[in-house]
Structure 1
Amino acid sequence: MTYQDPNMTQDTALITDPDWWRGAVIYQIYPRSYQDSNGDGIGDLAGIIQRLPHVASLGVDAIWLSPFFTSPMLDFGYDVSDYRDVDPMFGTLADFDALIAKAHELGIKIIIDLVLSHTSDQHPWFVESRADRSNDKADWYVWADAKPDGTPPNNWLSIFGGPAWQWDTARMQYYLHNFLAEQPDLNFHNAEVRQELLDVARFWLERGVDGFRLDTVNFYYCDAELRDNPPLPEDQRNDNIAPAVNPYNHQDHLHDKNQPENLGFLRDLRDLLNEYDAITTVGEVGDSHRGSEIQAEYTGGGDKLHMAYDFALLGHVHPTGTRIAEVMAKAESFSQDSWGCWAYSNHDVERHGSRWALSDAAQRTYAALLMSLRGSACIYQGEELGLPEADVAFDDLQDPYGIRFWPKFKGRDGCRTPMVWKSDNQNGGFSDSKPWLPVASEHLALSVEAQEDASGSMLNFYRRLIAFRKTVPALAKGDFTLIHADDTHIRFERSHNGTRAICAFNLSDEDQSFELPSGAWKVEAKAPFTVSRDGNSVTLPGWQAVFAVSSGSNTAQNSEESGHG
């Protein structure tokens, strides 16, 4: 029997609502690892189409599709060599059109990952740019002369290790690369570059996409004067952006990203998007110290990005109630009209269940918390199964980042291993051939097949949780007011159009009690959560979450649910 939630059908109001993204649940698919349809061991677009019913069963609003463009795959698609085509590894443009059509038929919107800050060094633009200093695209990338002693023009560092400058023997100059040396940075100070990238966005809008996830959105511009970055005091360093073993953390990145000129380009992009109906953007803000400030700057005012997410909940800092309250307060302090998109896991970080050493109960509580924060929510493929980080042996590593910093940092392959669909297949139902990364043996018991019909499974918990969120608009779109927070507990109120929802989370093993305000409250604890109530006094057992909903129309009555629903 396949699980079918009665609330799963897409709300027609959401389809036509230009603000459908506000409070949406977005499911990230990493195409290489979702489903292989042709037996080459690599996931593809046809495989994603095959698995769309699973995505629809979750009740999510949209898919964020990681890059599928033509690429030499040195950074697995984040090194683009043709922005207007599908890499043959993943299929064809016709396959992409079929994916759009099927997703829309199922009520799912498609957000694609645009990587605009840099290209592959095999992109025709860069091939021409590096040929000499006088060709038509000579200024399309960030080029600079060496210092008199032959060293790079400044002290900027690459996130992937070492200097952010690569010497080119044809031009006898350095070019900038914030990531791999094979990923040269485009020069956004050049108006032709900006226009070309807007045309790329238009190409995909015309094919029917519903929005863009903008990779490294704060890296578009660098300082035109190429000034050195100052050092960062040791007590301010963290590993939210780069692993602790990477000297990238030793600088205050004032000049290689986060430039004010970026706002102008984002406004131009928004003008383009406004020509189309109900389009959205979510920008990845990669910054350890100014993430919330940049998020607010990039999404406030209604004329730039719709949403942005920083790395506040993607790092190793354990999200205690105190920490969550600090993150939300910081985001709120910079702008009242900005909109965040929160995530615990993605294709670049260790899966959060392992990163924070969470029990099964704790993972469920944090999932409920994610679905209750002010903002939209991103969940990464396999998160709905409770997958832990896979341990990938050095000989099986594919990620150049991990190979560079092994063994202190094992790279990103552990979160990119194939999705597990079946338990009785050594490849988890992902492929009939050897997968590009090995399927973790500990993942097999957590497969979709194993969890599908188990009412208490993590998979069905996510389905109930997302469905519940849709029945309480305050959870998706409401204002946020903190009531109480300490390391083991956080409680806040969401309110929208007269409906109030008090959300309480016990982040400890011990029982915790609190008092509801006076009024009529419907207290709900979604299975497997339980709650004890005596009047307006509520007791929450360890690692449990509860929602108390009250409507201004008094349609909510005093009632109690003990974990059913």
Structure 2
Amino acid sequence: MTAMPAPLPAADAHEWWRGAVIYQIYPRSFADSNGDGIGDLAGITAHLDYVAGLGVDAIWISPFFTSPMRDFGYDVADFCGVDPIFGTLADFDALVARAHGLGLKVLIDQVYSHSSDQHPWFKESRASRDNPKADWYVWADAKADGSPPTNWQSVFGGPAWTWDARRGQYYLHNFLRDQPDLNFHNRAVQDAALATAKFWLDRGVDGFRIDAINFSMHDPQLRDNPPAPDTGKPRTRSFDFQQHVYNQSHADIPLFLERFRALTDSYGGRFTVAEVGGPSPEAEMHAFTEGHGRLNSAYGFNFLYAETLTPELVEDAVSNWPAEQGLGWPSWAFENHDAPRALSRWIGADHRDAFARMKMLLLLSLRGNAILFQGEELGLTQVEIGFADLQDPEAIANWPLTLSRDGVRTPLPWAAEAPQLGFTTGKPWLPVGPDHAALAVDRQQADPESLLNLTRRLIALRHAQPALAAGSMSVTHAEGDLLIFERAGDGRTLRCAFNLGAGTLRLPWGEGTVLQSVNGATLAELPPFGAVILG
């Protein structure tokens, strides 16, 4: 077995992550090394030079753990194992070693809300009401008429409770019925979660992205959720008819996060970021990152499901994270493995190239960490997946009203002329995008003016300017199509202006030094989707 590095003393901790650019890798779709049509750890390792060449600080690898793949790795059957379709623990160790050799930090997911129903913990828990793990999951008796204990609904549709004849009780699952909820009110469950985190810390990981952490604790009194007001928007899931007051977001979650942070701090220089979903997640995000004893950062869905990108949306998002003592540090993502490609949501095909350049500069100019989803640097679009090719269980269950997550998870195009665009020599688990050949890595590598090469320059600019990486941010104009904000730090103030529309806008400035311009923007004028940073 590969020797594990000794934990670093806490005194060596440093905030490498503050202002970092993090590149998310979805393993199934990044690169396939063995021709089975599914990306794997060895495929990631073989292409880390490309990722390092972007100039990013870290990679975040979505789940590669042992799983029956009902939810493609977010249903974990062994939190300390690598699923054979992705490789072995030795492959993971090789990946970490190569990443560190290239100067990349490695973040991985931790899924604490639930496990797979195939996990040994759940198999033991469901066997009886008095076994050692009987209280490791959320069990409850039926109502007198045999119906579920509460009215809670699953994110993926239908009741959040499933009857289990072995126990003669219902178990809670906020997601698929194959994903029973762990009972994080139980100290032993918390201890087990911390032990799995320690396992990966000992293997050299530099931090964790914690999945759906606000679902990790429920209301022990099992009170019904109140109905949600009708906003007039279509509701495709039963989940959308409720205010989620009692099935998630319990006030004790931050107390567990303090235990988690104490563990990661004992290794020095580690980074923790929470995913926090919901229509108004800011209060929880602040609670999860408050002070110096909880998580380092959090990100919500401000941009991930937004139908349009507007100055008001940006102002609203960043205004919740002022540079105040004790307030946490934000992270931002415009795309991820669960959300449709931003270019397909926010702009028509006629303006897509220009918009992509402006969008990239905006993401890399915001105060906080910037999370790039694989292919975002290429300007990939959402792929239409026919029902016969669907893999996403949520999309299958709600067809055709729920937009498939498969469309953002399609294989990364490495080579325009290669079979399956260089992703695999076999049949890919999802079809490649029909318009992605023109956006392939090899074509963009050879074009100095490509979005890929612009992304490299913009990341380098962010690292070269302390005000962009970690300075304060103040929005001075957010109206119509014009967004203007200032970033200040290290004794320097930068003025950043963005045109989010297809018209031409005049700027009120008469002097300044242009540090970066896209789409022909100048000191005085922003062409359609133009953007400029002045120093």
Residue 243 of structure 2 is aligned with which of 244, 248, 252?
252
Q: Whole-Å Cα distance in 2 between the matches of residues 52 and 546 of structure 1?
A: 31
Could you say what secondary structure the match of 1:491 adopts?
A: strand
Could you say what secondary structure the match of 1:525 adopts?
A: strand
- How far off is 1:505 after superposition? 0.4
- Indicate conservation of the 8 Å contact 1:216/1:285, yes or no: yes
Q: Which moved more, 1:94-103 or 1:297-306?
A: 297-306
- Indicate conservation of the 8 Å contact 2:154/2:238, yes or no: no
- How far off is 1:393 after superposition? 1.1
- Structure 1 residue identity aligned to 2:425: D
2:97 alignment counterpart: 101
Residue 141 of structure 1 is aligned with which of 118, 137, 141?
137
- Structure 2 residue identity aligned to 1:525: Q
- Indicate conservation of the 8 Å contact 1:292/1:331, yes or no: no
- How far off is 1:332 after superposition? 3.6
1:182 alignment counterpart: 178
1:31 alignment counterpart: 27
Are positions 1:320 and 2:310 aligned together? yes
- Indicate conservation of the 8 Å contact 1:347/1:416, yes or no: yes
1:443-458 aligned at under 5 Å gives the runs 443-458=436-451
Are positions 1:125 and 2:121 aligned together? yes
Gaps of at least 5 residues in structure 2 are: 1-11
2:533 alignment counterpart: 547
- Structure 1 residue identity aligned to 2:145: D
Could you say what secondary structure the match of 1:197 adopts?
A: helix
Q: Alignment RMSD, CA only?
A: 1.6
User: Does the C-alpha gap of structure 1 residues 139 and 304 become closer, same or farther in structure 2, counting only changes over 3 Å?
Assistant: same
User: Does the C-alpha gap of structure 1 residues 373 and 89 become closer, same or farther in structure 2, counting only changes over 3 Å?
Assistant: same
Q: Whole-Å Cα distance in 2 between the matches of residues 516 and 442 of structure 1?
A: 40
Are positions 1:288 and 2:279 aligned together? yes
Q: Whole-Å Cα distance in 1 between the matches of residues 238 and 68 of structure 2?
A: 27
Q: Whole-Å Cα distance in 1 between the matches of residues 328 and 256 of structure 2?
A: 18
1:416-565 aligned at under 5 Å gives the runs 416-516=409-509, 521-526=512-517, 528-533=518-523, 538-549=524-535
- How far off is 1:333 after superposition? 9.9
1:261 alignment counterpart: 252
Q: Whole-Å Cα distance in 2 between the matches of residues 251 and 360 of structure 1?
A: 39
Could you say what secondary structure the match of 1:54 adopts?
A: helix
- TM-superposition CA deviations, 1:288-326 (whole Å, max 9, x none): 12x122111211211111010001111133120112111
- Indicate conservation of the 8 Å contact 1:420/1:444, yes or no: yes
- How far off is 1:357 after superposition? 2.6
- Structure 1 residue identity aligned to 2:368: G
Residue 342 of structure 1 is aligned with which of 304, 324, 332?
332
2:4 alignment counterpart: none
Q: Whole-Å Cα distance in 1 between the matches of residues 62 and 18 of structure 2?
A: 21
Residue 354 of structure 2 is aligned with which of 337, 353, 361?
361
Q: Whole-Å Cα distance in 1 between the matches of residues 186 and 174 of structure 2?
A: 18
- How far off is 1:160 after superposition? 0.6
Could you say what secondary structure the match of 1:110 adopts?
A: strand
Could you say what secondary structure the match of 1:74 adopts?
A: coil
User: Does the C-alpha gap of structure 1 residues 498 and 160 become closer, same or farther in structure 2, counting only changes over 3 Å?
Assistant: same
1:13-92 aligned at under 5 Å gives the runs 18-92=14-88
Q: Whole-Å Cα distance in 2 between the matches of residues 333 and 181 of structure 1?
A: 42
1:391 alignment counterpart: 384
- TM-superposition CA deviations, 1:144-189 (whole Å, max 9, x none): 0011111101011100110000000100100000110000000011
Q: Whole-Å Cα distance in 1 between the matches of residues 403 and 196 of structure 2?
A: 34
Could you say what secondary structure the match of 1:96 adopts?
A: helix
Are positions 1:298 and 2:288 aligned together? yes
- How far off is 1:530 after superposition? 2.4
- Structure 1 residue identity aligned to 2:449: G
Could you say what secondary structure the match of 1:367 adopts?
A: helix
1:152 alignment counterpart: 148
- Structure 1 residue identity aligned to 2:236: V
- Structure 1 residue identity aligned to 2:394: Y
- Indicate conservation of the 8 Å contact 1:46/1:95, yes or no: yes
Q: Whole-Å Cα distance in 1 between the matches of residues 487 and 249 of structure 2?
A: 32
User: Does the C-alpha gap of structure 1 residues 262 and 231 become closer, same or farther in structure 2, counting only changes over 3 Å?
Assistant: same
- TM-superposition CA deviations, 1:438-471 (whole Å, max 9, x none): 1122111110011111011111111111111111
Could you say what secondary structure the match of 2:476 adopts?
A: strand
- How far off is 1:511 after superposition? 2.1
Percent identical: 50
Residue 263 of structure 2 is aligned with which of 255, 262, 272?
272
User: Does the C-alpha gap of structure 1 residues 17 and 469 become closer, same or farther in structure 2, counting only changes over 3 Å?
Assistant: farther
- How far off is 1:143 after superposition? 0.3
- Structure 1 residue identity aligned to 2:528: G
User: Does the C-alpha gap of structure 1 residues 244 and 448 become closer, same or farther in structure 2, counting only changes over 3 Å?
Assistant: farther
- Flag the structure with more relative contact order, 1 or 2, with Cα contacts below 8 A and sequence separation at least 6: 2
- Indicate conservation of the 8 Å contact 2:30/2:44, yes or no: yes
User: Does the C-alpha gap of structure 1 residues 465 and 333 become closer, same or farther in structure 2, counting only changes over 3 Å?
Assistant: closer
Q: Whole-Å Cα distance in 2 between the matches of residues 270 and 208 of structure 1?
A: 17
1:214 alignment counterpart: 210
What is the count of residue pairs matched by the alignment? Answer: 521
Q: Whole-Å Cα distance in 2 between the matches of residues 170 and 488 of structure 1?
A: 59
Are positions 1:112 and 2:105 aligned together? no
- Indicate conservation of the 8 Å contact 2:323/2:472, yes or no: no
Q: Whole-Å Cα distance in 1 between the matches of residues 322 and 181 of structure 2?
A: 32
- Structure 1 residue identity aligned to 2:382: E
Q: Whole-Å Cα distance in 2 between the matches of residues 541 and 445 of structure 1?
A: 25
Q: TM-score, normalised by structure 1?
A: 0.90
- Indicate conservation of the 8 Å contact 2:347/2:355, yes or no: no
- TM-superposition CA deviations, 1:367-424 (whole Å, max 9, x none): 1111111110101001111010011111111111111111122421111111100111
1:12 alignment counterpart: none
Residue 166 of structure 1 is aligned with which of 140, 162, 167?
162
Q: Whole-Å Cα distance in 2 between the matches of residues 501 and 183 of structure 1?
A: 47
- How far off is 1:500 after superposition? 1.0
- Indicate conservation of the 8 Å contact 1:292/1:334, yes or no: no
